[in-house]
Amino acid sequence: MADLQSLYAAENLETLRQRYDSWAQRYDADACALGRMLPPVVAGFVGRHVPANVNGPVLDVGCGTGVMGLILTTVGYGPVDGMDLSPGMLAVAEEKAIYRQLFEAALGPDALPMPASSYAVVVAAGVFSPGHAGPEGLDELVRLARAGGIIVFSAALPALDDGFQAKIQQLCDGGHWNLVAASPPFASMLGSTQAPEGRVFVYRVM
């Protein structure tokens, strides 16, 4: 089972990519054993705030092995595209045959390969965590969602620092999105004391 602290302490994206690649084949079983809560909670907020007949595709940012995509397609959302920085994780996701397209890319300051305003729903579970994507990644989620679209993302409590809060407020003040809902803090992994608590946020793009 992966050492979660080694993921949170990754010095750069290449190190993070290598650590996820090495975990990919065991990830689904390990995440189940760890009681990973982020995909079902994020999907629950999608179900609460996005009609099942939404007209448009969904983007699963940081899709990993496809757990989130599997949940969303099972309950009727789609088509779903996925993106992740780890080719090893993407290979496992591709085996599930649930994604329309898969992209190898990292969420950061640079634009992702998808066109602007492409998605009715953008989800990101576990992406905004220590050693992972920073607050600048929120700009890209907004760019990829179309006007009126919904963004649902989780954030680990240690990642919700002043810079992250400032970016959220900047996007609100700039008229880019409005807050729809936010969860209280909850355990992101029921079976691990290494995993920090997190929150889930829902924003509507203006």
Contact 110, 77 (CB under 8 A): no
Nearest to 198 by CA among 93, 124, 89, 109: 124
Nearest to 159 by CA among 135, 180, 177: 135
Span 108-125, mean pLDDT? Answer: 93
21 vs 3: which has the higher pLDDT: 21
Span 141-154, mean pLDDT? Answer: 97
2 vs 27: which has the higher pLDDT: 27
Q: Strand pairing partners for 152?
A: 123, 202
- DSSP3 helix / strand / coil % (the chain, rounded to 5): 40, 25, 35
Could you give the percent of the chain with pLDDT greater than 70?
Answer: 99
41 vs 53: which has the higher pLDDT: 41
CA-to-CA distance for 85 and 61, rounded, in angstroms? Answer: 10
Average pLDDT across the chain, whole number = 94
Is residue 192 predicted with pLDDT exceeding 70?
yes
Span 127-145, mean pLDDT? Answer: 95
Write out the DSSP string of 66-122: SHHHHHHHHTT---EEEEES-HHHHHHHHHTT--S-EEE---SSSPPSSPTT-EEEE
User: What pLDDT, on a 0 to 100 scale, did the predictor assign at position 1?
Assistant: 52
Span 88-111, mean pLDDT? Answer: 95
Please report how many Cα atoms fall inside a 13 Å half-sphere around the Cα of residue 193, on the Cβ side. 0
User: What pLDDT, on a 0 to 100 scale, did the predictor assign at position 107?
Assistant: 93
Nearest to 188 by CA among 122, 130, 102: 130
User: What pLDDT, on a 0 to 100 scale, did the predictor assign at position 83?
Assistant: 98
Structural domain boundaries in the chain: 4-205
172 vs 53: which has the higher pLDDT: 172
Q: Is 130 helix (H, G, I), strand (E, B) or coil?
A: coil
Q: b or e along 147-180 (b: 16 or more beta carbons within 10 Å of the residue's beta carbon)?
A: eebbbbbbbbeebbeeebeebbeebeeeebbeee
Span 99-118, mean pLDDT? Answer: 93
The domain made up of 4-205 has a fold known as Rossmann fold (3.40.50)
